[in-house]
Amino acid sequence: MRDFWFRIGAPVAAIALFALLLWGVFSVTAALLFTLLALLIVMARHVRQLSRLERWLHDARLETIPEAGGIWDDVFSHLYKMVKQHQQTRQELAAELQHIEQATAALPEGVAILNESNRIEWCNPLAQQHFDLDAEHDFMQDITYLVRQPEFIGYLHASNFSEPLVMRPARHDDMVLSIKLIPYGANKRLLISRDITQLERIEAMRRDFVANVSHELRTPLTVVSGFVENLQDMRDINNDDARRALHLMAEQTRRMDNLVADLLTLSRLENDQNPPREELVDMHALLNEIYQEGLLLDGNKHVLRLDVLSGLKLRGNREELRSAFGNLLGNAIRYTPEGGEISLCWAERDGQSVFSVRDSGIGIAPQHIPRLTERFYRVDRSRSRETGGTGLGLAIVKHIAIRHHAKLEISSEQGKGSVFSLVFQATGD
- Can you give the binding site for ligand ADP, defined by CB under 6 A? 331-332, 335, 359, 361-362, 364, 372, 377-380, 384, 389-395, 418
CB 352 → ligand ADP: shortest distance, Å? 22
> Nearer Cβ to ligand ADP, position 110 or 393?
393
CB 420 → ligand ADP: shortest distance, Å? 6
Do 140 and 119 meet the contact criterion of CB atoms below 8 Å apart?
Answer: yes
> Nearer Cβ to ligand ADP, position 147 or 344?
344
Do 354 and 423 meet the contact criterion of CB atoms below 8 Å apart?
Answer: yes
CA-wise closest residue to 256 among 392, 375, 394: 392
CB 257 → ligand ADP: shortest distance, Å? 14
Tell me whether strands 341-349 and 303-308 are parallel, antiparallel or unpaired: parallel
> Nearer Cβ to ligand ADP, position 180 or 378?
378
CB 377 → ligand ADP: shortest distance, Å? 6
CB 416 → ligand ADP: shortest distance, Å? 11
Do 279 and 314 meet the contact criterion of CB atoms below 8 Å apart?
Answer: no
> Nearer Cβ to ligand ADP, position 164 or 340?
340
| CA geometry: angle 68, 69, 73, nearest 5 deg | 70
Cβ-Cβ contacts under 8 Å for 148 (sequence gap 6 or more): 170
CB burial readout 231-253, b (16+ within 10 A) else e: eeeeeeeeeeeeeeebeebbeeb
CB 189 → ligand ADP: shortest distance, Å? 38
CB 392 → ligand ADP: shortest distance, Å? 6
* C-alpha to C-alpha distance for 251 and 225, rounded to whole angstroms: 9
Helix locations, 234-366, DSSP H: 240-271, 283-298, 318-334
> Nearer Cβ to ligand ADP, position 7 or 378?
378
> Nearer Cβ to ligand ADP, position 110 or 389?
389
Do 389 and 364 meet the contact criterion of CB atoms below 8 Å apart?
Answer: no
CA-wise closest residue to 80 among 69, 94, 64, 92: 64
Any bridge partners for residue 395, and if so which? none
> Nearer Cβ to ligand ADP, position 263 or 362?
362
